[in-house]
Amino acid sequence: MTKHWGQIISIWLIVAALAVWAVSSQSPATAPAWFGTILAGSVALVSLYHLFRAKPEGIVRKLVYVGGGSYLILAIATAYVLLAS
C-alpha cells in the first residue's frame, strides 16, 4: 500500500486545487454545489484507474482514503465558505 500514497496524495492535491477554484470563482451560494461534483470525480478517478489497470488489489482501501481525504478537504472548504459569508 505504501507505493499507492503518491496517487492518493496527487488526487487530494487535485481536489484541493478544484476546491480553491470553486471558492474563488463561484459565489458563496453556488460554490458548495461544486463540491459534490469534485468528490464524485475523485472517487471516479480511482475507479477508472483500477478499471484500466485490471488489478483489483487495494481498490477498497484507496477508495476509502481518497474519498475520506477528499471529503475532509471539501468539508474545510465548506466551513470556509459558510464562515466567510
For 2-56, what is each residue's pLDDT tens digit? 677 888 899 999 999 999 999 998 888 888 889 999 999 999 998 888 888 777 7
Q: What angle do CA 69, 75, 77 make, to 5 degrees?
A: 105
Higher local confidence (pLDDT), 83 or 54: 83
Q: Mean pLDDT across the stretch 65-77?
A: 94
Task: Round to whole Å and give the CA distance between 7 and 11.
Answer: 6
Count up the domains in the chain and report the number. 1
Higher per-residue confidence, 27 vs 65: 65
Question: Contact at 8 Å (CB) between 22 and 81?
Answer: no
| Predicted model pTM | 0.86
Q: Which domain holds residue 61?
A: 2-84
